[in-house]
A and B are shown apart, each in its own frame.
Chain A
Amino acid sequence: MASLIRSARLASNAIFQQRLPAKLLHTSAKSHYAAANSPPPAEGFMPGVANSKLIKHTQHDALRNPELASVANGETKKMNLFQSVNDAMAIALATDDTACVFGEDVAFGGVFRCTMGLSETFGRDRVFNTPLTEQGIAGFAIGMAAMGSTAIAEIQFADYIFPAFDQIVNEAAKYRYRSGGEFNVGGLTFRTPCGAVGHGGHYHSQHPEAYFAHTPGIKVVVPRSPIQAKGLLLASIRDRNPVVFMEPKILYRAAVEQVPVGDYELPLGKAEILQQGKDLTIVGWGAQLYVLENAIQLAQKRMPGLSVELIDLRSILPWDVETVCNSVNKTGRLLIAHEASKTQGFAAEIAATVQERCFLRLESPIERICSFDTPFPLIFEKFYVPDMIRCAEGIERAMKF
């Protein structure tokens, strides 16, 4: 065990060197820039997503999902993630007269276009801009929800959520408990874009799900794709508990799917097995799943016949212990990867629970592939995030232990 935790000087180890043949990457050579002179979009690019097998490119593919039985006979429409989030909010506003959407610049569509057109359709009294006041937005949303209304609040970047942390942790999460059930803020949902985008730096890149996962009373959800985002967001809005809904912003444009146009929900607290396998269980969420998909392919080139079970956790709190532990009991090995840094990241909770529940079935130490324990860096981002190579090496390590 000790040998696994040996440290190595980064530079001398040459581990930062790119060692992967380009053909293994799901990259597309075509330019992603709309015009030569326009700046890159704030949400960045994730080229691998376009060709991912996790993305449902056709209507047939999309509707095969048994979780979408309620809309199986309906139409689908090509949407990217911000459009599907927009669609979910439009449905929420249309089906719930008490629902309001608010946040910084949301009446204009928001910085990531998620609320485009909503104020025109539903009126500026229901879709409105707030001042730049995150703690105020959170408290305001909590008050509104305490009246029984549905409050859909946007915090413009997950990095900005910390002024609102007190309100979410101390007010929202405990309202039902501390009032003995007299009040609750069940209609409350915070949407917030999160995650690395390639150039976000210290304050536009963080993935703070673990802070909130430490808070009984709220739910935390991270979708991986447009279909998932729509169903999970509608479920979050309608769930009678406060939910923090974190949208991986790099997927806003990068992930495009055939999304059912109808009204549907996907279950909270339920993971989804994306790929069945018998040798190793891999757990991830959000944009990291696409990194893991590539890592699995790479590992399979090196280890022909390797059979991996890939699980999208979807809900961070509550998380689906049964699905993960059943899988680990089957495979005997577990790798968890996330974008937040390692110490006290959510992988730690999963690893601890799995060793309690599956100790005798484990055949290798649980691998955690996470970001470095440093502040989120600007220029070093590519060295900081748990990239495909690290994930592939983690798979190999687990298999060869």
Chain B
Amino acid sequence: MSLSKVAAKAFMPSAVRTFASSAVARDVNITLHPQSFEAYKCDAPSLELTLKKEELVHMYNSMVTMRRMEMASDALYKAKLIRGFCHLCTGQEAVAVGMETALTEKDKIITAYRCHGFTYMRGGSITSILAELLGRKAGISGGKGGSMHMFTPNFFGGNGIVGAQVPLGAGIAFAQKYLGEKAATFALYGDGASNQGQVFEAYNMAKLWDLPCVFVCENNRYGMGTAANRSSANTSYFKRGDYIPGVKVNGMDVLAVHQAVAYAKEWTVSGKGPLLLEMETYRYGGHSMSDPGTTYRTREEIQHMRSNNDPITGLKQRMLDFGVVTEEELKAIDKAARAEVDKAVEESKASPEPDVDQLFTQIYIKGTEVPHIRGREPEEGIRF
């Protein structure tokens, strides 16, 4: 799809049928743009949805906070406080936020290296995320992992090996089915990772055993520096499950994401087997901090997406159109998010580095360690 079409799609005014003043009734009936979805071997999700005002505010607040957090990460990286490999999700906020608002704590998510936003939505505090990036004790993994290594009880983590998390998602979904849980697993990967062989191995197992697994391709158009059409023979990622139905979703519209994820959850939990979702999204920054992100795409393209297709601006405009919030209320949210992130930056910077004996922990379960972890020289090492 051409850029102009994508841009047009995001900003087509949605029809709002009924809404009362924000002071009284809080349900907002929304009609999504007709081009929000494209279905493969299944019906498209309904374009009608009803959300509470609070839910819309929560979505907005989450996206704004997430972007602030990533901007703070960017600044900490450039101040050389964060080292190593760091992948920001700026521009892709709608995926993590729309997904979380449609799920419950029983549902599981697993994703790849661009994981900060999902960690936040799955309950990770901003301080714990930033502290992890900084390699500090207050980090969500105790500072042991850094950027790609963040986890919460129902979030099986970021993963640094491209595509490796996808079959794990199938296994998590199998356990859910086996345990009789009415919940689904969402296994995310990018357009780049979609070409890894194990993605297709996971598809097969998931369909063979009708697992409640939703494979979610976050298509941000570039796998590192390679455009999707240069790496993938079929860029309709939602059709690549062949025997698995799929839905393409406007991933720049948090409401469309929410609706598609709710649909996918219902689909899988009702026993119809796996489903593919392709979230059409866009990252504003480079693949990682060492990639300026401008050598394989034009600055105009990035600017165009920012100004015409931004998920935060899009939702903001809708909320104003719906009349559920005022400009002032949104400004207050922006301000509060900024203050919250600023506070978290200070807290995470104040956290000390983890104790050095943490080098040896969590390799094996406590009490069953390899008796002697050998060090660099005979005197070093540790005995359990």
Contact = CB atoms under 8 A, between A and B. Distances in A.
A186 B193 CA distance: 30
A108 interface: yes
B356 A16 contact: yes
Nearest to A160: B161
B226 interface: yes
B251 interface: no
A131 B226 CA distance: 8
Given A10-B382, A39-B289, A372-B376, A204 B84 contact: yes
Given A108-B225, A132-B224, A202-B149, A42 B85 contact: yes
Contacts of B224: 104-105, 111, 132
B374 A379 contact: no
Interface string B178-207: 000000000000001101111000000000
Interface stretch (B27-35, B45-53, B75-83): B75-83
A interface, how many residues as a size bin?
Answer: 35 or more
A397 B143 contact: no
Contacts of B374: 342-343, 372-373
Q: Which of A39, A108, A129 has the most CB of B within 10 A?
A: A39
Which of A200, A373, A379, A384 has the most chain B CB within a 10 Å cutoff? A379
Interface stretch (A69-77, A274-282, A363-371): A363-371
A108 to B, nearest CB: 5
A42 B377 contact: no
A332 B84 CA distance: 42
Nearest to A42: B290
B193 A132 contact: yes
A136 B230 contact: no
B231 A132 contact: yes
Interface string A377-393: 11110011111001001
A179 interface: no
A203 B148 contact: yes
Interface in B154-170: 160-164
Nearest to B384: A7
A160 B85 contact: no
A160 B148 CA distance: 14
* Of B83, B164, B196, B230, most A-chain CB atoms within 10 Å: B83
Interface string B58-88: 0000000000000000000110100111000
A15 B380 contact: yes
Given A40-B80, A384-B359, A13 B231 contact: no
B382 A9 contact: yes
B149 A372 contact: no
A134 B148 CA distance: 19
Contacts of A198: 83
Nearest to B372: A7
Contacts of A129: 226, 230-231
Interface in A31-50: 33, 37-42
A11 B357 contact: yes
B226 A390 contact: no
B241 to A, nearest CB: 17
B244 to A, nearest CB: 20
Interface string B214-226: 0000000001111
B161 A374 contact: no
B161 to A, nearest CB: 6
A5 B196 CA distance: 44
Interface in A122-159: 129-136, 159
Contacts of B288: 42
B84 A104 contact: no
A26 interface: no
B231 to A, nearest CB: 4
B381 to A, nearest CB: 5
Interface string A1-21: 000111111110101100000
Main secondary structure on A side of the interface with B = loop
B84 to A, nearest CB: 4
Nearest to A386: B376
Nearest to A37: B78
B370 interface: yes
A79 B328 CA distance: 59
Given A131-B231, A202-B149, A7 B353 contact: no
B146 interface: yes
B223 A11 contact: no
Contacts of A379: 135, 143-144, 146, 353-354
Contacts of A117: none
A8 B370 contact: no
Given A7-B382, A369-B376, A40 B83 contact: yes
Nearest to B295: A108
B163 A132 contact: yes
Contact of A163 (B78, B196, B231): B196
A136 B373 contact: no
A39 B375 contact: no
Nearest to A203: B160
B195 A132 contact: yes
A135 B197 contact: yes
A104 B383 CA distance: 42
B84 A7 contact: no
A137 to B, nearest CB: 10
A380 B358 contact: yes
A390 B145 contact: no
B232 interface: yes
A49 to B, nearest CB: 19
A4 B161 CA distance: 39
A380 B359 contact: yes
Given A201-B145, A390-B380, A160 B358 contact: no
Nearest to B143: A379
A105 B225 contact: yes
A352 B353 CA distance: 39
Most chain A beta-carbon contacts within 10 A, residue among B147, B358, B370, B375: B375
Nearest to A108: B225
B146 A378 contact: yes
Contacts of A377: 144, 359
Contacts of B209: none
A216 interface: no
B296 to A, nearest CB: 7
A380 B147 CA distance: 15
A374 B363 contact: yes
**Ranked 4 nearest A-B pairs via Cβ:** A199-B83, A131-B195, A203-B160, A199-B84
Given A380-B356, A393-B377, A394-B377, 17 more contacts: A4-B379, A13-B379, A40-B80, A104-B224, A111-B224, A131-B192, A131-B231, A133-B195, A133-B197, A135-B197, A198-B83, A369-B376, A372-B381, A373-B374, A378-B143, A379-B135, A390-B380
